[in-house]
């Protein structure tokens, strides 16, 4: 690899490499935390700013989690409202009704079969 003479090869510190390696686990943990929160509050609708405050995560993590939950058909956009802090219209997110019903049906079927 040809590089200009004045440019040095920069190696990442081992601690930074370890942080990059832990990223997939962190994403899974945050995804599960958000999914569990929505399942615990199936009738409530929350904006991304509300989720930042409640889950104590930065907005960029919340945005990624919302995209992941939407792609997995776990949550939906329930509507829009005006954010009291910023005064702009924001989307509010809610657990999909069919998602909550399917989860309850699976638990009932497991009890009937004798599992758990």
Whether this model's pTM surpasses 0.75: no
Q: What pairs with residue 82 in β-bridges?
A: 89
The position carrying tokens 């590089």 is 3
Domain CATH number, residue 71: 1.10.10.10
Judge whether 28 lies within some domain.
Answer: yes
Judge whether 11 lies within some domain.
Answer: no
pLDDT tops 70 at residue 85:
yes
Task: Tell me 29's DSSP state.
Answer: H
Based on the structure, what is the number of domains in the chain?
A: 1
**Average pLDDT in the 49-66 region?**
93
More confident residue, 100 or 90: 90
Judge whether 5 lies within some domain.
Answer: no
Judge whether 83 lies within some domain.
Answer: yes
**Average pLDDT in the 2-17 region?**
59
Judge whether 6 lies within some domain.
Answer: no
Q: What is the chain's mean pLDDT, rounded?
A: 77
Give me the domain span that covers residue 96: 23-113
| Residue 97 structure tokens | 């009704």
Angle between helices 59-71 and 48-55 (to 10 degrees): 110
């Amino acid at each position: 690899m040809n590089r200009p003479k004045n440019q040095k090869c920069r190696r990442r510190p081992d601690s930074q490499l370890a942080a990059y390696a832990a990223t997939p686990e962190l994403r899974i943990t945050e995804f599960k935390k958000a999914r569990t929160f929505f399942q615990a509050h199936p009738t409530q609708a929350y904006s991304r700013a509300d989720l930042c405050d409640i889950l104590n995560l930065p907005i960029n993590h919340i945005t990624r989690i919302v995209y992941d939950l939407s792609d997995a058909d776990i949550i939906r956009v329930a509507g829009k409202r005006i954010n009291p802090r910023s005064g702009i219209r924001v989307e509010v997110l809610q657990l999909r009704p069919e998602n909550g019903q399917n989860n309850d049906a699976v638990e009932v079927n497991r009890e009937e079969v004798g599992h758990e």
